[in-house]
Each structure stands twice: as structure tokens, then as C-alpha cells.
Amino acid sequence: MKISIRHLTKAFPSRVKKGAPVIAVNDMNIEIPSGKLIGLLGPSGCGKSTTLFMLSGLESPTSGQILFDEQDVTTLAPERRGIGLVFQNYSLYPHMTVEQNIMFPLTNMRIPKIEAKAKALDAARLVQIEDLLARKPSELSGGQQQRVAIARALVKMPNVLLLDEPLSNLDARLRLQTREEIKRIQRETGITTVFVTHDQEEAMSICDIMVVMKLGFVQQIGEPQAIYDDPANLFVANFLGTPPINIFKGRIENGQAYIGDEAIRAVELEDQEIFVGIRPEGFIYDPEGALTLDVDHIEVMGRDKSVVSRHTSSTKPTVRSIIDSDVKLPADSGVMKFNVKPNKVFLFNANEERIL
């Protein structure tokens, strides 16, 4: 099912008397094509969960429209939208068995019990918990509970599946496994899925389309690789990628971008103050390179090494660059010269932090 979000705004009344309302989501416009996995990504408090709850109908928007396949569902009650929602802490009913939990949405639809049981078993098979049906949620591990929650959301064959930080309660290893699982289930069912996360790695790895948000505003929408390769502004560039991008203060003079006194790249732009962002993998060791870094120490990680260095123009205390482990560095520390890959360097306007 195609989802269109048009001028969606949510304002919460201020806690203080006569204070300005808190705007959680500000004039959001997204078109979500059918059958895709969409990630809403942003730091906490950016309005991604509010957006999800507005899609589910648990929160009503202050203004704007939500359309499912051209049908306006903005004021429709949650149970009539045909959605499945997986909560962050799963919210499995503790007094019901796994089977009863999965069957609960079906009993509300007045489906005969035998049919409901068969459907519940199908949903359980899809998430591979068919042998746990008789257990209570308290007798399951976190990962199993999460599968039950997904099965409960999927059993009524929703048009849209909404996942609210579904992996945040799982340990690191299980998280990797489960996110592949979610991707598989989404592919098998072909249900349009919206997925909220603050973990950029998680979002990048499984999303078809990623929506980066900050303080209620959508920063950028696109495929994960496209956003990584071409961030719209400094925030997006900073938010994506581990280790994070290195930001330097710089300027443009006479068609050259400078960090300090060193020319990095030729550009066809007028003279101005800029921020220069260089991805960690964008550094090449070169004795004749353009950029001079004062290397503090080198962390060996096997496949490659992480060079931690300092630079007076850097906005962060250290500059981190990833170098292939085959490259021989002259010493463990000291001043070294590096070249940069042009496609890994981004220039941002210093005032608006917009990409140039």
C-alpha cells in the first residue's frame, strides 16, 4: 500500500502555562511507495516515533494529511486503518499464551476459532516460533518475544506494518540477526513497512528508503547509499557513518578550498567560510599529500587500521581516518601527510550548514 504524508504537523501543548507549544513534527512530506521498507532515522526527540504513532492513529496530527492509497485516513480510528504495530517493549499481553496473543487481533475481527488458529500458526511459522505457542510471554527470551510481537502484528495481514525501535531491547548479536529477519519477513510478505530507529547502521543496512529527521524537520529522504554519498547538510553527514565524518573549519579562496593554509580541492565557488567534511575512509597516506595531520596513535583493527590524529582546524578533538592495513605508515605517531579522495570530501556552507 502506498502511503502519502502531506504537510503533517504535530504540536504538543506546552507544559508551562502560556508557553509555546512543542512542535514534534513540522510540515512533513513523504511519499512511500508500496511494498518498501522505510526507515525513519534520527536522534532521540526528533519526532520519528510521533510520526509512527500518527501513522498508526494512536496520535492525531495537529494539521496535515495521511493517505493510504489515496484514501484519507487522517481521522480514522487505529483499528480501521488495517495496520500492524510492534511496540518498542513489545507489549505482549502477559496473561495470554503466545498463541492467544497472536490470535487476539483475529478474535476481534470475529473470525472463526479454527481459522484463527490456522492463521496464527502460519504467522508463527513465518517468524519461526511455531514450537513456542503454548508458552507465556514471561517464559520467552527477548528475541522470542519480539518475534511474537511481529507475528501478532502480521497475523491480520495488515496493509502497513509499523515497527517502533524493534531492535533496541536486544543484545548486539541478536540485533544483527533480527534485522536480517525483519528484512526477510518484509520481502516475503511484501507489506509496506515503516521502521523507526536511532541507529544509523541498522537503518542503512535494511532500509529501501531512509528518512533522516532532526527536531521535527525532515532533513533528507533517499536510498541509504545515496544519502551517505551525498548528504544534504552537515547534520546528515555527521549522523551517518561509523566512525563519524571528520569536520574541519575552512574557507574558499580563489577557487580553492582550504583547511588552514592547505588547499584540499579546487572548486568553482565564490569565496566564503565553509565546513569541510571528510569521511574517515577518504584519507590516503601520501608523503606528498595536501593535508598534514599530527598522528597521535594508531589503532589496529585487523582488516584496516584507525589513525587517530589531531588538527588545529578540526571541530572535534581528534581526527579519525581508516587506512587499509596493507599501507605501510612511517611511524606510529608524529606529523604525516595525507591526500583525500575527492568523492569523500563534502563542503558545507558555514552559516546554513548546507552542502555546496
Q: Judged by CB under 8 A, does residue 210 bind other proteins?
A: no
**Least distance to other proteins, CB of residue 82, Å:** 10
Residue 79 in contact with residue 36, Cβ under 8 Å? Answer: no
179 contacts other proteins (rule: CB under 8 A)? no
Three-state SS letters, the chain: CCEEEEEEEEEECCCCCCCCCEEEEEEEEEEECCCCEEEEECCCCCCHHHHHHHHHCCCCCCEEEEEECCEECCCCCHHHCCEEEECCCCCCCCCCCHHHHHHHHHHHCCCCHHHHHHHHHHHHHHCCCHHHCCCCHHHCCHHHHHHHHHHHHHCCCCCEEEEECCCCCCCHHHHHHHHHHHHHHHHHHCCEEEEEECCHHHHHHHCCEEEEEECCEEEEEECHHHHHHCCCEHHHHHHCCCCCCEEEEEEEECCEEEECCEEEEECCCCCEEEEEEECHHHEEECCCCCEEEEEEEEEECCCEEEEEEECCCECCCCEEEEEECCCCCCCCCEEEEEEECHHHEEEEECCCCEEC
Using the rule CB under 8 A, give the single segment among 79-87, 233-241, 251-259, 261-269 that binds other proteins. Answer: 79-87
Q: Could you say which of 58, 157, 266, 301 contacts other proteins (CB under 8 A)? A: 58
* Residues 6+ positions from 139 with CB-CB distance below 8 Å: none
Query: Considering the complex, what minimum distance in angstroms separates the CB of residue 108 from other proteins?
Result: 4
Q: Is 119 in the site for other proteins (CB under 8 A)?
A: no
Residue from 43, 45, 78, 243 in contact with other proteins (CB under 8 A): 78
Q: Which of 34, 89, 128, 141 binds other proteins (CB under 8 A)?
A: 89
Nearest to other proteins of 103, 295 (CB atom): 103
Considering the complex, what minimum distance in angstroms separates the CB of residue 104 from other proteins?
A: 5
Q: Which stretch binds other proteins (CB under 8 A): 104-112, 165-173, 188-196, 201-209?
A: 104-112
Give yes or no for residue 97 binding other proteins (CB under 8 A). Answer: no
The continuous run of DSSP H or E covering 113 comes out as: helix 113-126
The site string for other proteins over 237-276 (x = CB under 8 A, - otherwise) reads: ----------------------------------------
**Which residue in this structure is represented by grid cell 502506498?**
2
Selected binder of other proteins within 39, 84, 143, 224 (CB under 8 A): 84
Q: Is 168 in the site for other proteins (CB under 8 A)?
A: no
Q: How far from 157 is each of 106, 152, 160, 191, 316, CA to CA, in Å?
A: 10, 10, 9, 8, 48
Choice between 47 and 84, CB closer to other proteins: 84
How many Å apart are CA 4 and CA 66, to the nearest integer?
A: 6
The reply to whether 56 sits near other proteins by the rule CB under 8 A is yes
44 near other proteins, rule: CB under 8 A: no
Nearer of residues 95 and 184 to other proteins, judged by Cβ: 95
Q: Return the number of the residue (29 or 89) whose C-beta is nearest other proteins.
A: 89
> Which one of the spans 61-69, 81-89, 203-211, 334-342 is the region binding other proteins (CB under 8 A)?
81-89
Q: Is 109 in the site for other proteins (CB under 8 A)?
A: yes
**How many whole angstroms separate alpha carbon 118 and alpha carbon 136?**
19
Of the candidate spans 83-91, 177-185, 217-225, 287-295, the one that interacts with other proteins by CB under 8 A turns out to be 83-91
Q: Does 120 bind other proteins (CB under 8 A)?
A: no
Among 7, 95, 297, 310, binds other proteins (CB under 8 A): 95
105 belongs to the binding site for other proteins (CB under 8 A)? yes
Q: Which residue from 91, 169, 315, 318 is in contact with other proteins, where contact means CB under 8 A?
A: 91
Q: Which residues bind other proteins (CB under 8 A)?
A: 56, 58, 77-80, 83-85, 87, 89, 91, 93-96, 104-105, 108-109, 136, 138, 152, 156
